Amino acid sequence: MKLNWKELRKTIYIFATEKTVGFTLISIFLGLVVGAIFLTAAGFNPFQAYGIILRGIFSKPSYISYTIIRATPLILTGLSIAFAFKTGLFNIGAEGQFIIGSVVATATGYFLHLPLLIHIPVVIISAVLAAGIWGGLAGYFKAKFGVHEVISTIMLNWVALYFQNFLIYTEGFQKPGGETSYSIQPTANMMILKTWKQSAAGREWLLQHPFWKDLLRTPANWGFIIAIIMAVLVWFVLNKTALGYRLRAVGFNRFAAEYGGINVNKNMIISMFIAGALAGLAGALQVVGVSHKVTLIAAMEGYGFDGIAVALIANSNALGCILAGLLFGALKYGGAKIQPFMQAPSEVVSIVIGSIVFFISIPRLIKLILSRKNKKGGTK
Amino acid sequence: MGYKNATRSLTKVIEMKNITKKFGDFVALDSVNLDIFKGKVHALLGENGAGKSTLMNILYGLYYSTSGEIFINGEKVNITNPNIAIEHGIGMVHQHFMLIKPFTVAQNIILGREPISKMSVLNMKKALKDVKEISERYGLYVDPNAKIEDISVSMQQRVEILKALYRGAEILILDEPTAVLTPQEIIELIQIIKNLTKEGKSIILISHKLKEIKEAADFCMIIRRGKHIDTVVVSETTEEELASKMVGREVSFVVDKKDKKAGDEIFSIKDLVVKDNRNIITVDKLNLSVKKGEILGLAGIDGNGQTELLEAITGLRKIESGEIKINGNDITNKTPFQIINNKIAHIPEDRQKRGLVLDFDISENTILENYYKKPFSKKGILQYNNINVYANELIDKFDIRPKKASKMARTLSGGNQQKVIVAREITNDPDLLIAAQPTRGLDVGAIEFVHKSLIEQRDNEKAVLLISFELDEVMNVSDRIAVIYEGKIVGIVDAKDAEVEKLGLMMAGGGNK
Ligand SMILES: Nc1ncnc2c1ncn2[C@@H]1O[C@H](COP(=O)(O)OP(=O)(O)OP(=O)(O)O)[C@@H](O)[C@H]1O
Ligand SMILES: [Mg+2]
């Protein structure tokens, strides 16, 4: 069979260089190829490894549920970074904003005693506001003193980390005998069907319905739905509202925005506030939905940094963040399984993700490779 | 004699054959042919968006044609990127320069082709010598040790030309080189072009200014909407003929303007002092006023404080002292937002930096100052239907091409970008319109239209402040002309009594105060 290589190459070229979605898919594919090369070099069968990963994601309802739970905070931190990016700012601070969000959620979730339907919204809103202010601070530093947001957000990340550790050692908040905080009140817990799951009737029913039993074994919660709503909301605000117009104008060309009467400084602060709020929401949802408390952390957990990769893969598109977050969550969750099943290092997943980001960040490399080939082939 | 006969005995260095370029389903170039002959200046003339820059970008390898062939010295070539073009002796000076600002002139010129001595060390001595040699040979005088950020636009242009020559260019493409130059600098550039052709270089010159084409070019190719219309021998044609071939109708060069009595003073500047980026006073106790129903032209040589003056009026630069008033309201050191709301509109000098958000489409750019107002927004939600209707109105009225509101500003031709800004600012119907180089890069038809629009503003009892390096424009359109020199107004004359020589003298500092 003779494949028309030249035609194919031309199609790939157009696909890769002119259609951003196509370009992203090619980058993901290339990332997987790089991972396969590493696996092969280390003496593992890449098809077997990718097979394990795929089965590890899809073969059981609980696996899918875990994947989604993993993806939820990444979608939100990805959104945070994508949002800032669309408005011309580089939010390295999602990490710290996430921490502030989770600390405030734990504090309000533990100290406040409120009825069920009120407690969760209060917890989430206070966490989101606090993280928004934390993010807005970086915007304020930039507007007022000209401190670049990359510098200030990195600094604020560390402040947030030590703030959390400090609180954990504070009496009244620290759970005696552990390096963790107390857990939030049951009224602040957002797990799906939490009480019913443990009731006698619930257990009876689940025994007869293995699909649901497996699914509800996980801390399945409403966080994913909230993340999707936020992605749609972010897309709507950016593209359909006057506020979004202002923010994008500042992001694309602050000189033209200033000329057009838009207050550049104010909008930078607003943008960083919203970015911080989104990352804080990720932290809050993680607490009310999954962890229910905060623990002592020795180093950054990486939710914010992974968010950068998610935003890059999504090309800073709000809806793309959902897909990129899911991809990322799936790779992380499923990828962990190649270690126990075939003793292959699960770090391969980091290599895959790193390569995808690499290929996406350098579209020119792909263009160059393809155009070189085109040249050799000559054009008609 | 005709084009065929005139070129019979010449050496063809470039032949572009049946070049077609499509962007999506939009045909920017439709089977265009172009021949370039050794030692000759070949002009490209065409309306805004006709496809001139696109054709040249294809020759220089920045775009790849959808179909067509290119021959250099009779040999077929495949130019997929600028490096290949450079290898074939093609150099290009873009309208927006591509120099590295903190580097010196010499460093910029040798960039990418650095002379290396033994041990692979950069041989700066040789570099300086080479640069000096080329610049003397063609009369392209520059200071090789000056930093780019400290030299004028015309000097930067010379650096771009030198850079191309240093890389061995035999064919030099100049894309609207004179749009950013003052009249004196244009004369110098034409001299440089003549020196280059004398040495056997071939020049492709894109310009909207027919006078320059008459003066500098041997042949002129006319394109209209991507199609080749005609190629003529410049010495056998007239400016009027060129213009009508280009637009497809007769173009009037005289500005049609009724006499009119100006009204009350509406805008005034008192003892204004403004500093530039280096903290040097560049607007120095300046006084000026504009009346309702008049166009006040501001004439002056670039760098005498015009830029800082405009930025101060529009709230983009801090005012040290003095006072600016419109309609009796003090707008000194107010924000751009407040100043816009005082009914001042501004066509900025630098269209790509200030005037447009290049990554917005045409429709989004038309509402830059009004996006939050009805009918464009309701309760904070953008009303895209209304925005599109409005954008399409402007597109029709100002003949922005292509007629597609969703086209990204970045992909518009230079002249059409300018039209978007002019359309937006004039349609805002300001009490004072500040127009800085409003016709820069526009074709003759569009210039005619902008001039008419400015005069219409004035006839509607609005005030216009026109800043232009083109003395012709200032003299034809204005009612009064103020001359700025070293940050001060050194004289004001009635446009009817203005004489070029006298204005020129005042602009050079020999004013009658
Ligand atoms: N990258 C692009 N994508 C889509 N359309 C483009 C792109 N570049 C140019 N065009 C379109 O091609 C046409 C020709 O543009 P070009 O810049 O060649 O015009 P021009 O003759 O140089 O005009 P001007 O005198 O205004 O500079 C225009 O309609 C322009 O909008
Ligand atoms: Mg052009």
User: What residue type is assigned to position A103 of the chain?
Assistant: V
Specify the residue for token string 């710290």.
Answer: A96
Using DSSP bridges, classify how beta strands B26-37 and B12-23 pair: parallel, antiparallel or unpaired. antiparallel
Q: Collapsing DSSP states into helix, strand and coil, what is residue A29? A: helix
How many whole angstroms from B227 Cα to the centroid of ligand 2?
Answer: 15
- Place A300 in a pLDDT band, splitting at 50, 70 and 90: confident
Query: Does the beta carbon of B416 lie inside 6 Å of ligand 1?
Result: yes
To test the ligand 1 pocket, which listed residue (B32, B54, B55, B399) has its Cβ within 8 A of the most ligand atoms? B54
- B253-343+430-513: CATH homologous superfamily? P-loop containing nucleotide triphosphate hydrolases (3.40.50.300)
How many whole angstroms from B28 Cα to the centroid of ligand 1?
Answer: 7
Q: Above 70 in pLDDT, residue A137?
A: yes
DSSP string, A121-176: HHHHHHHHHHHHHHHHHHHHHHHHH---HHHHHHHHHHHHHHHHHHHHTSTTTBPT
Flag if B360 and A248 touch (Cβ within 8 Å).
Answer: yes
Rounded Cα distance, B269 and B353, in Å: 26
Q: Collapsing DSSP states into helix, strand and coil, what is residue A326? A: helix
Q: What topology is assigned to B3-247 in CATH? A: Rossmann fold (3.40.50)
Nearest CB to A241 within list B355, B356, B380? B380
Query: Does the beta carbon of B52 lie inside 6 Å of ligand 1?
Result: yes
The DSSP 8-state label assigned to residue B119 in this structure reads G
User: What residue type is assigned to position A320 of the chain?
Assistant: G
To test the ligand 1 pocket, which listed residue (B413, B418, B450) has its Cβ within 8 A of the most ligand atoms? B413
- The whole-number pLDDT of residue A377 equals 37
Residues of A with CB under 8 A from a CB of B: 240-246, 248-249, 252-253, 255-263, 371, 374-375, 378-379
Query: Does the beta carbon of B89 lie inside 6 Å of ligand 1?
Result: no
- The whole-number pLDDT of residue A379 equals 34
Nearest CB to A245 within list B335, B336, B371? B371
- The whole-number pLDDT of residue B246 equals 87
Q: Collapsing DSSP states into helix, strand and coil, what is residue B321? A: strand
Is A22 in contact with A370 (CB distance < 8 Å)?
A: no
Give the mean model confidence (pLDDT) for residues A364-374. 58
Rounded Cα distance, A135 and A129, in Å: 10
Give the mean model confidence (pLDDT) for residues A171-191. 86
Name, in order, each residue with C-beta under 8 angstroms of B247's C-beta and a sequence gap of 6 or more. Answer: B47, B224, B443, B444, B445
Task: Work out which ligand 1 atom sits closest to the CA atom of B402.
Answer: 29
Residue B289's DSSP bridge partners are B268
Using DSSP bridges, classify how beta strands B281-291 and B265-275 pair: parallel, antiparallel or unpaired. antiparallel
Give the 3-state secondary structure percentages of chain A, helix then strand then coil, rounded to 5: 75, 0, 20
Minimal CA–CA distance to A104: which of A154, A44, A173? A173
User: What residue type is assigned to position A170 of the chain?
Assistant: T
Using DSSP bridges, classify how beta strands B90-93 and B171-175 pair: parallel, antiparallel or unpaired. parallel
Query: Does the beta carbon of B315 lie inside 6 Å of ligand 1?
Result: no
Rounded Cα distance, B56 and B207, in Å: 13
CA angle A195, A199, A204 (to 5 degrees): 130
Is B50 in contact with B225 (CB distance < 8 Å)?
A: yes
Flag if A242 and B380 touch (Cβ within 8 Å).
Answer: yes
Q: Above 60 in pLDDT, residue A2?
A: no
Specify the residue for token string 């006698």.
Answer: A200
- Place A378 in a pLDDT band, splitting at 50, 70 and 90: very low
Q: From atom 9 of ligand 1, which residue's Cα is the shortest distance away?
A: B411
Distance from first CA to last CA of chain B, Å, rounded? 54
* Range A60-344: architecture per CATH: Orthogonal Bundle (1.10)
Rounded Cα distance, B461 and B468, in Å: 22
Average pLDDT over all residues of chain A: 87
- The whole-number pLDDT of residue A376 equals 40
Residue A283 φ/ψ region, left for φ over 0, alpha for ψ in the -120 to 50 degree band, beta for the rest: alpha
Residue ranges matching CATH 3.40.50.300 in chain B:
3-247, 253-343+430-513
Flag if B340 and A252 touch (Cβ within 8 Å).
Answer: no
Task: Work out which ligand 1 atom sits closest to the CA atom of B413.
Answer: 17
Most confident among A240-254, A290-304, B97-111, B143-157 (mean pLDDT): A240-254
Q: From atom 5 of ligand 1, which residue's Cα is the shortest distance away?
A: B411
Residue ranges matching CATH 1.10.3470 in chain A:
60-344
Q: Above 80 in pLDDT, residue A20?
A: no
Residue B493's DSSP bridge partners are B481
Nearest CB to B336 within list A243, A261, A375? A261
Name, in order, each residue with C-beta under 8 angstroms of B403's C-beta and a sequence gap of 6 or more. Answer: B392, B395, B396
Minimal CA–CA distance to A328: which of A95, A113, A70, A128? A70
Q: pLDDT per residue over A221-239, tens digit each?
A: 889 999 999 999 999 999 9
Query: In chain B, which residue's Cα lies nearest the Cα of A262?
Result: B337
Query: Does the beta carbon of B51 lie inside 6 Å of ligand 1?
Result: yes
Rounded Cα distance, A285 and A76, in Å: 10
| Residues on chain B touching A378 (C-beta within 8 angstroms) | 78
Give the mean model confidence (pLDDT) for residues A43-67. 91
Q: Collapsing DSSP states into helix, strand and coil, what is residue B349? A: coil
Rounded Cα distance, B348 and B309, in Å: 12
- The dihedrals phi and psi of B433, each to the nearest 5 degrees, come to -105, 120
How many whole angstroms from A227 Cα to the centroid of ligand 1?
Answer: 42
Our CA-based measurement puts residue A376 at a distance from the nearest CA of chain B, in whole angstroms, of 11
Per-residue pLDDT in tens (0 to 9) along chain B, 513 residues? 788 888 888 999 999 999 999 998 899 999 999 999 999 999 999 999 999 999 999 999 999 999 999 999 999 999 988 889 999 999 999 877 778 888 888 888 888 777 776 666 777 788 888 888 888 888 888 888 888 877 877 888 889 999 998 988 999 999 999 887 877 888 989 999 999 999 999 999 999 999 999 999 999 999 999 999 999 999 999 988 998 888 887 777 777 788 888 889 999 999 999 998 888 999 999 999 999 999 999 998 888 999 999 999 999 999 999 999 999 999 999 999 999 999 999 999 888 889 999 999 999 999 999 999 999 999 999 999 999 999 999 999 999 989 999 999 999 988 899 999 999 999 999 999 999 999 988 888 889 889 999 999 999 999 999 999 888 899 999 999 999 999 999 999 999 888 888 888 888 887 554
Is B469 in contact with B302 (CB distance < 8 Å)?
A: yes
Is B483 in contact with B492 (CB distance < 8 Å)?
A: yes
DSSP string, B35-61: EEETT-EEEEEE-TTSSHHHHHHHHTT
- The whole-number pLDDT of residue B36 equals 95
Distances (CA, A) of B408 to A377, B151, B329, B358: 33, 32, 38, 7
Structure tokens at A91: 């939010």
Rounded Cα distance, B165 and B93, in Å: 11
Is A64 in contact with A213 (CB distance < 8 Å)?
A: no
Q: pLDDT per residue over A26-41, tens digit each?
A: 888 989 999 999 989 9
